[in-house]
A = this chain, B = another copy of it.
Amino acid sequence: MYRTHTCGELRLTDAGKTVTLAGWVQRTRDLGGLTFVDLRDRYGITQLSFNVERDKALCDQANTLGREYVILATGTVKERESKNLQIPTGEIELIVTGLKVLNAAKTPPFTMEEETDGGDDLRMRYRYLDLRRANIRKNFELRHRMAIETRNYLSAHHFLEVETPVLIKSTPEGARDFVVPSRMNQGEFYALPQSPQTFKQLLMVAGFDRYFQVVKCFRDEDLRADRQPEFTQIDCEMAFVEQEDILRMFEGLAKHLFKAVLDKEFSSPFPRMTFDEAMRDYGCDKPDLRFGMRFNELNDLLQGKGFKVFDEAELVVGINAEGCAGWSRKQTDSLIDFVKRPQIGATGIVFLKWTTEGLKSTVDKFFTPEQLKAWAVRCGMKEGDLLCIMAGKADRTRKQLNELRLHLGDLCDLRDPWAFSPLWVVDFPLLEQDEESGRWHAMHHPFTAPKPEDAHKLESDPGGVKANAYDLVINGTEIGGGSIRIHDRAMQEAMFRVLGFTDEEARYKFGFLLDAFEYGAPPHGGAAFGFDRWVSLFGGRSDIREFIAFPKNNAGRDTMIDAPSRLDAAQLAELGIASVG
């Protein structure tokens, strides 16, 4: 070992000890005769002290040290004269008697402070320097801790971690697969798993009873800030369970992580909301419950009074922005601009303000003061509040108002990243219909079972079938979800038919699973959680890339190693493939 202690370890009680530290030069201060060096490692920062009277040569050497030099310093621990009580090692310093440069460093391309001057591209290209920033490194300490706690919780509950294969078969449903050409079976390809779904179900058929895996999954999709081509899932499955057992088990996991990692206690059960309620009351299936602004449907009050926009709408719906009545015209106009952006595509907002002067709406001429009063009562307004009303096609209007609600939540500072509001959304529809093609898609995936009471109408009324499927939503982010699965061959075949598979396709892609269901498949269900997202939520940030050591950019590139890259011709020839087009 080069060092006797880390840079975060020495305290006043170590005074007098001779120690050796190793680390990086965070900064050097030459005070003329006296030089201080802040030596940094993962564990902390310790002040090194050099004195020209004590040892001129050593002091001169210290003055030549550049930022990020890797050095070894031996000396005696001494109580500091001017203490820094902000850091754990701030009461001591090291009176250096020996100094060795282990490796010099060029000037880094950006500052390695909490707020860096490095742009995204530069930081990613020199990710190994970016990762030296204490706030970024803490993200990985958090990630490590959450993984360990997850494994220990699940292991204590008799889950076995079983590694499922990465080289599997391509069965793209929805998302695209990454594929791997096979050298030994030319013309054939493996696929990287989008999830270990079928394997974990086979482990249930195998009697493993409780399975989990913290596992990399892959999707060849166009990327966004919260999507990476490879991502990590906490993947779980249990046999002989009903939905209630699964919710209880993973609510337990979530509570365990909240407590162990963030020291947050949730004494009561997480609230639950059906999918239909969530859509009706918040216009989305992952409502952020850190704040109110529940939807109020207003058709009965607002229609038939001659205001065409309302009269012609399928849905008129409003949310009450508490305390916003004093907003200026400029501020409310900017809300209208917000919903008119093409990503949202609304036509406008009708406002009702309740100021000291009473209720005032932007459509006063169509409504009486009593009518406005009735809106306010319906929406629970009080003086000082601002009602925002949107109208139009029901689905689209709900989506638009949801966007506005989240935006208002941001503007009103109601979305504190350190306040956590977990929620189970349950009773998802089994299928959703593609508007254009009219085809049915699995809302969750093709292995989700219909609710037993709806099973009979799977083929006759697919849209009316609900599933025992559930999502865990925290602060408006879908952390994970799952379902009770089909474990019966006939039911699975019916499901594939509804999804438009021919029997041949179903057999070709999933014959092994259909076969397995005939050899004693137990009832089972499970869940999967997006680990990157969960960690970033616990880290108080929304960009998952800050919690992935070496992420890809939005073009799917790792700019540090410069991947992907061209292969040489021999490598392609050996694989029996060629690049075309």
Contacts and interface: CB of A to CB of B under 8 A. Distances in A.
Contacts of A128: 202-203, 205-206, 516, 519
Contact of A169 (B108, B199, B564, B574): B564
A184 B126 CA distance: 23
A179 interface: yes
Contacts of A202: 127-128, 550, 560
A35 B564 CA distance: 64
Given A206-B131, A563-B167, A522 B185 contact: no
A180 interface: yes
A152 B163 contact: no
A351 B240 CA distance: 64
A147 B161 contact: yes
Contacts of A166: 166, 192, 216, 218, 230
A522 B166 CA distance: 34
Contacts of A308: none
Interface residues of A, number: 124
Contacts of A69: 520
A169 B578 contact: no
Q: Could you say which of A106, A166, A184 has the most chain B C-beta atoms within 10 Å of its C-beta?
A: A184
Nearest to A559: B512
Contacts of A23: 207
Q: Could you say which of A106, A218, A561 has the most chain B C-beta atoms within 10 Å of its C-beta?
A: A561
A276 interface: no
Contact of A179 (B6, B40, B575): B575
A251 interface: no
B567 A179 contact: yes
Interface in A480-523: 487-488, 511-512, 515-523
Contact of A187 (B131, B519, B555, B579): B579
A129 B205 CA distance: 8
A119 interface: no
Interface stretch (A52-60, A170-178, A466-474): A170-178
Contacts of A172: 571
Contact of A152 (B148, B229, B515): B148
A550 B222 CA distance: 30
A433 interface: no
Contact of A207 (B24, B163, B549, B571): B24
A564 B181 CA distance: 8
A105 B183 CA distance: 38
A565 B206 contact: no
Q: Could you say which of A128, A189, A198, A580 has the most chain B C-beta atoms within 10 Å of its C-beta?
A: A128
Contacts of A561: 168-169, 198, 512
A491 to B, nearest CB: 11
A160 interface: yes
A151 B148 CA distance: 7
A451 B192 CA distance: 41
A511 B559 CA distance: 12
Given A131-B203, A148-B155, A163-B216, A523 B232 contact: no
17 contacts: A2-B523, A103-B487, A131-B203, A144-B160, A148-B152, A148-B161, A165-B230, A165-B558, A176-B183, A181-B181, A182-B556, A185-B556, A186-B581, A188-B564, A188-B566, A189-B565, A202-B560
Given A1-B240, A102-B522, 11 more contacts: A1-B241, A22-B522, A132-B206, A166-B166, A168-B558, A176-B574, A178-B190, A180-B192, A190-B563, A199-B550, A203-B549
